[in-house]
């Protein structure tokens, strides 16, 4: 019975950490849902270990400064990979201490003998959150709370071009309503694109290159994703603009159990981008310590590195640091005054054989957000 329980938990945690639901703490803006969609396209490397298809329910409790304590319940259908990576379809519901909720479905399905990868998501959310303004000089003193209500739909078909490389078309639709704006606040003045709400529709392509040894806790390899999208009235969009995002992650195994993980990200765009779709830094995945909506603009650049090492028994430690900046364009990025963050973390190996960790991180920042100069995160899966 004990072995059965251990294997059940290992399977449940594996499904969660395969990124089939959004990272815990991701807000429901389309930009953050985009991060979840990109993550959901990552199938487990090296093939699945479930052995057969089946439906698995999964509860989870987590914490971030943006949400407080949150509860997540998901149900997943595991598609037998037939010797290749398993596919997953997941439905989830999330409710937080701050009365935010998010429900949706995600999928990542290998097809045609792994020559194709089908990815997609659909989500609805009501997620009261903070807005500080746009640009690198926005002030935490200008913080205002508003309530976005959003529908999001993303999809893509990726074709295997060469070994480890997938490329294909992608589509994105979102509808954002903006409620409970502060009287006299920036959003109520309606000078910011999207302050009255937004409906966007765009098409483009995705490119993905992946040589990691596993998607759960990589010790070596490279992961690169490039996503370029164009939004136009001919596609039904109320706003016309384009975006391009490049996310590069590199993992080095220094010694047994010692891993150096590095990430570089550049997202940029031009045109009438609604603020809900702008690039951002902060949150539990990007520069821990800053509020997830603290810095937003048309362009965001950040780099971060993390040294992961064993301590004793199932415990491990992490030291991380990073820096980033937002700007109206790539040419206007001010590298002289970056938004810097650093911190430490504790890891507990829930399933050592699969390198699945529970993480507790504290991030410290140079610039105080409304909650202070530090923030705690209690989550499953690594930040990147």
Lowest mean pLDDT among 126-135, 143-152, 372-381: 372-381
Distance CA 304, CA 339 (A): 11
Average pLDDT over residues 223-242: 96
Write the pLDDT tens digit of every residue in 140-186. 888 899 999 999 999 999 999 988 899 999 999 999 999 999 888 89
- Position 25 scores a pLDDT of 36
CB count in 10 Å sphere of residue 99: 12
Query: What total number of domains does the chain contain?
Result: 1
Please say if the pLDDT value at position 197 is more than 50. yes
- Position 352 scores a pLDDT of 79
Can you give the residue range of the structural domain that contains 261?
2-380
Residue 45: band (very low, low, confident or very high) from pLDDT cuts 50, 70, 90: very low
- Position 372 scores a pLDDT of 57
Residue 56: band (very low, low, confident or very high) from pLDDT cuts 50, 70, 90: low
Predicted structure pTM score: 0.83
Q: Using an 8 Å Cβ cutoff, are 175 and 30 in contact?
A: no
Distance CA 241, CA 261 (A): 33
Q: CATH number for the domain including 302?
A: 2.40.160.50
Residue 343: band (very low, low, confident or very high) from pLDDT cuts 50, 70, 90: very high
Break the chain down into helix, strand, coil percent, rounded to 5: 10, 55, 35
Residue 6: band (very low, low, confident or very high) from pLDDT cuts 50, 70, 90: very low
- Computed from CA positions of residues 295, 20, 117, 202, in that sequence, does the dihedral angle turn out positive or negative? negative
């Amino acid at each position: 019975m004990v072995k059965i329980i251990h294997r059940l938990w290992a399977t449940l945690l594996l499904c969660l950490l395969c990124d089939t639901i959004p990272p815990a703490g991701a807000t429901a803006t389309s930009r953050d849902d985009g991060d979840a969609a990109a993550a959901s396209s990552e199938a487990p490397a090296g093939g699945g270990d479930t052995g057969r298809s089946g439906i698995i329910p999964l509860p989870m409790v987590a914490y971030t400064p943006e949400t407080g304590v949150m509860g997540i319940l998901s149900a997943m259908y595991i598609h037998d990979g037939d010797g290749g990576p398993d596919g997953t379809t997941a439905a989830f519901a999330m409710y937080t201490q701050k009365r935010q909720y998010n429900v949706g479905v995600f999928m990542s399905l290998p097809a045609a003998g792994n020559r194709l990868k089908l990815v997609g998501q659909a989500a609805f959310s009501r997620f009261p959150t903070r807005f500080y303004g746009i640009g690198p000089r926005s002030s935490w003193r200008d913080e205002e709370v508003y309530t976005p209500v959003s529908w999001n739909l993303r999809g893509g078909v990726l074709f295997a071009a060469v070994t480890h490389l997938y490329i294909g078309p992608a589509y994105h639709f979102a509808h954002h309503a903006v409620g409970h704006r502060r009287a006299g606040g920036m959003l109520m003045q309606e000078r910011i694109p999207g302050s009255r709400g937004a409906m966007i529709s765009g098409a483009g392509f995705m490119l993905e290159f992946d040589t990691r040894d596993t998607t759960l806790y990589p010790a070596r390899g490279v992961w690169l994703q490039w996503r370029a999208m164009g939004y136009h009235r001919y596609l039904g969009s109320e706003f016309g603009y384009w975006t391009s995002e490049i996310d590069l992650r590199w993992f080095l195994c220094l010694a047994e159990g010692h891993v150096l993980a590095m990430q570089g990200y550049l997202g940029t765009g031009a045109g009438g981008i609604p603020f809900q779709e702008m690039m951002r830094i902060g949150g539990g995945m990007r520069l821990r310590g800053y509020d997830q909506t603290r810095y937003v603009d048309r362009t965001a650049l950040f780099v971060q590195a993390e040294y992961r090492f064993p301590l004793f028994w199932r415990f491990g430690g992490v030291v991380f640091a990073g820096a980033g900046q937002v700007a109206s364009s790539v040419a206007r990025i001010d590298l002289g005054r970056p938004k810097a963050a650093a911190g430490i973390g504790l890891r507990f190996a829930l399933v050592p054989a699969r390198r699945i960790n529970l993480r507790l991180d504290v991030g410290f920042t140079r610039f105080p957000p409304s909650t202070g100069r530090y923030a705690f995160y209690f989550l499953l899966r690594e930040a990147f």
